[in-house]
Amino acid sequence: MSSRVVLDGVYRFVTDGVESAHRQAVALAGDGVVGVSGSDVARQLVMAGLVDEISVHVVPVLFGSGTRLHDDLGGHVGLEVVEVVPAPSVTHIRYRALDPIQ
């Protein structure tokens, strides 16, 4: 498992677990926001209960393959809609994570 922390274009590779990557990213962000892209790292953070919000961008295309974010979560995560921004080619939905993984 590895993840990376990006600050001003500098990458820091973290290989000692998602909790460590989260801790380092929060420390580097200070009062800022920590954003994560990449389904594997995002899934690990959700499973560890370290995600406050999830943004989903829905496009009107269905793919037959790829990495699935929601596979093997090991339980359920309650979500509350915070914001929906529709556009002709995409709908942006922001959710607040409510419940830890069961």
The pLDDT assigned to 3 comes to 52
* Judgement on whether residues 53 and 78 belong to the same structural domain of the protein: yes
For the residues of 30-41, what is the DSSP string, one character each? TTS-----SHHH
pLDDT, block means (10 residues), the chain with 102 residues: 54 86 90 83 86 89 76 79 95 87 48
The pLDDT assigned to 62 comes to 82
* Judgement on whether residues 87 and 100 belong to the same structural domain of the protein: yes
* Judgement on whether residues 18 and 45 belong to the same structural domain of the protein: no
Which segments of the chain are extended strands (E)?
3-7, 10-14, 53-58, 79-86, 91-97
* Judgement on whether residues 46 and 92 belong to the same structural domain of the protein: yes
Number of structural domains found in the chain: 2
* Judgement on whether residues 29 and 41 belong to the same structural domain of the protein: no
* Residue 81, domain CATH: 3.40.430.10
* Judgement on whether residues 46 and 20 belong to the same structural domain of the protein: no
The pLDDT assigned to 102 comes to 47
